[in-house]
Chains A and B, each alone.
Chain A
Amino acid sequence: MIAEAGHYALVLALALALIQSTVPILGARWRDPALMNVARSTALAQLLFVGASFAALVTLHVTSDFSVVNVFENSHSLKPLIYKITGVWGNHEGSMLLWVSILALFGGLVAGFGNNLPLSLRAHVLAVQAWIASAFYLFILITSNPFLRIANPPIEGRDLNPVLQDIGLAVHPPMLYLGYVGFSISFSFAVAALLEGRIDAAWARWVRPWTLLAWIFLTLGIAMGSYWAYYELGWGGWWFWDPVENASLMPWLAGTALLHSAVVMEKRDALKVWTILLSILTFSLSLLGTFLVRSGVLTSVHAFATDPTRGVFILLILCIFIGGSLTLYAWRAPALKQGGLFAPISREGALVLNNLFLTTACATVFIGTLYPLALEVLTGDKISVGAPFFNLTFAPLFLPLMIAVPFGPLLAWKRGDLLGAAQRLVAAGVAALVAIAVLWAWTRGGSAFAPLAIGLAVFVIAGALSDLAERTGLFRLPLGAATRRARGLPRSAWGTVFAHAGVGVALIGIVCETTWNSEYIGSMKPDDVAVIAGYQLRLDGVTQRQGPNYREMVAQFTVSLDGERLSTMTPSKRSFTTRGSTTTEAALLTRGASQLYISLGETAADGAIAVRVYHKPMVLLIWFGPVLMAFGGLLSLSDRRLRVGAPKPAKAVRGLQAAE
């Protein structure tokens, strides 16, 4: 009953989406407010029905209804409740349902909070949203229906892949999808602007917060995924340049560029055409990511060719939306009015530079991800493009960008003073040089790369802070006045400081971890001691334990530093009987921002157990940086000027508004 209701709700959502795709457009054509307002009600009703459909699938999983194929294949009655719920999107069908639910959520948000949007703009935006939604509803209903029944229901399910039975699955995919799919809003706004043939101030004021919201989620989603891989896969890596990861990195890079070009458009009315293009590209890359992950083309080009329904369907969606929007862009963009002039050395110029480097870096990731696929399709040669490729292309492009980051906020709009900005960054430059010198002395004989890279990171952080000091008049004015000015500073300025500092923090973590991590691999018997980075790890013993749906072998280690006992660590190996597979549960011990990491290998006949121990200095900064960036984004989002749905500010917030 519930499965059928869920299926039916999804069909109704499709019907509503089809209405929403057409009626508001006609309304805008005929200037009929009643028809244009249909978009609002259908968007909200669509959200309701998709929500019901999603709730139905969750209910089926929670109640372990194994007469539904999707539940049978991915669940088990003994599975803990949390994994029954998260297992809903731990499979293809369920995750597509989550995808459209989030799409409907964003559509509903625009409908709910978009009262101050021009009526025809809102109608167009929601109609474009509905086009995307219709395509994906059709995809789910035709190729990936999660509500299919089995004729003879089995007693027990096949269980969820053990690697996915982790809290990471509860957080990572929803976050990632909120980011991916959130970019659909800026896409819809861009296409709506092209359809209407004009972009005004309301357009830019609206696009930026939505982009920012999506970007915050994507940032957190990627960071969370990286941390999950780090502790779950058992060998301590945190970024693999795997196509699945690149699929989420590309929209992030393009989205970051979009965020910055939207600032120029909002403040200075310049870069309109480019911002529109970036909006289209960002969501196109999200769609590409969905295609790469969902079509199976990464798993095997061969599988893609033999069972092409899904892959070809998504490829079709991809071609229609990307091709269609780019064609529309080529046709309508030249008609858009160009705005504000600016000198190459100016805040706008700096933001253009940012865009240039981010999009180029994004292009190298694109090539590295798709070239092996293209080559295999064309010539049959199999190659793998991995970290060495990206270290040689992506990293050199990111370095100049990092050097430029502190300069940007210090340049004035329209025409900036590079020398003046450099003077104000002297303190940051000195901090960077001191950091380089200290590290150089400390790591005597080591590679020169790490101190330089950390110096660069310190420059970015100190640069962000000196921007703050500059704006508040800290050190120039009395403390009281500076505090007052700090309080009066727009939240978006604070957001910039945190986000830029976050980039530097992440870079420090990355450099420290890759340069100074140490590793011990060996086989240990009880009472053996492994020594790594000054820590002694003694294997106390190995015990067996029964979990809810697995058996577990737990090893206990006592960790001490200079003979003083610090803590115990208990890595384990779990065998899941249903799938006959094992997972490695690493044990982590956090010391400041650094971590000790133990994971277990196989047990030999004589009882010795293979052990992998890592010491990862400053590793937590890798994820703390993105959290800072997201926090900066959140501050910026809470700026009253940009607050989602906030009425137009009564007066200009600052004198920075364009003086045309």
Chain B
Amino acid sequence: MTRRQRRLTMIGGSLAVLAVAAALVLNAMRDSIVFFSTPAAVAEKHIPAGKRFRLGGLVQPGSLVRGEDLAVRFLVADDSATLPVSYKGILPDLFREGQGVVAEGALDTSGVFRADTVLAKHDETYMPKDVADALKKQGHWKDSYGAKAAGTPEKPGAAQRASQTDQAPPRADRGAIQ
């Protein structure tokens, strides 16, 4: 082979691999990306039952009900709307009423959000990024929520999650350990 042919082989091979990679990425982008929503946006957008998304907001104080066999129900609220959430499993250490939470799952036909993953990511001053941004947008941000968070991003907000196994593979917020 001449130098030129060799070079063409190399370039051709590289382009082929890159094309495959690009196809894989585009395909994965279509299927495996999960959007974030707040209760108000859920009411507005009419998200169909069964479509996976992440729901973020504050756990409505007084709404947590524990059922049989680790089943829990609670309301996630934002400025204008609330959405009932049901979950079965162990809640993260940092899950508290009145605090921010992000749950991943889908709506069922009766309009209840069935979560298979619950994330709570905050310490006493810190809250999940998505929730904080959404609350700020709605003007519901209390300075006490994020007084520290903004200045000390590294202050590792303990990240916690709870999940049920046979669901989608784990995805976590792991700000704490880096």
Contacts and interface: CB of A to CB of B under 8 A. Distances in A.
Nearest to A345: B9
B164 A604 contact: no
A385 interface: yes
A579 B124 contact: yes
B164 A521 contact: yes
A344 B153 contact: no
B177 A232 contact: yes
A384 B153 contact: no
Contact of B36 (A225, A352, A384, A522): A384
Interface string A604-640: 1000001010000000000000000000000000000
B24 A397 contact: yes
Contacts of B168: 386-388
B140 interface: no
Interface size class of A (residues with CB under 8 A): 35 or more
A296 B94 contact: no
Nearest to B37: A382
B20 to A, nearest CB: 8
Nearest to A605: B66
B174 A233 contact: yes
Contacts of A307: 150-151
A296 B153 CA distance: 5
A172 B177 CA distance: 9
B31 interface: yes
Contacts of B43: none
B155 A161 contact: yes
A368 B28 CA distance: 10
Given A233-B172, A343-B6, A364-B25, A302 B133 contact: yes
Contacts of B27: 392
Interface string A209-243: 00000000000000001001100111101001110
A116 interface: no
Contact of B171 (A360, A371, A384): A384
Interface stretch (B11-19, B76-84, B107-115): B11-19
B175 A298 contact: yes
A161 B69 CA distance: 32
B176 A242 contact: no
A548 interface: no
Contacts of B164: 521
A235 B163 CA distance: 8
B32 interface: yes
Given A244-B178, A387-B169, A393-B21, A382 B9 contact: no
Contact of B90 (A228, A360, A393, A610): A610
B13 A583 contact: no
Contacts of B146: 303
B140 to A, nearest CB: 14
A360 B17 contact: yes
B28 A519 contact: no
B28 A242 contact: no
Contact of B172 (A232, A237, A517, A584): A237
Given A307-B151, A384-B33, A388-B31, A163 B169 contact: no
Interface of A: 73, 90-92, 95, 161-164, 168, 172-173, 225, 228-229, 232-235, 237, 240-242, 244-245, 247, 293-304, 306-307, 310, 341-344, 352-353, 356-357, 360-361, 363-364, 367-368, 371, 381-389, 391-393, 396-397, 514, 517, 519, 521-523, 573, 579-584, 601-602, 604, 610, 612
Pairs A-B, 8 closest by C-beta atoms:
A296-B153, A386-B171, A388-B32, A601-B90, A92-B154, A382-B36, A392-B28, A240-B172
Given A163-B159, A368-B25, 13 more contacts: A163-B176, A229-B174, A233-B160, A293-B154, A295-B153, A301-B133, A303-B153, A342-B6, A356-B17, A383-B36, A384-B34, A388-B31, A389-B29
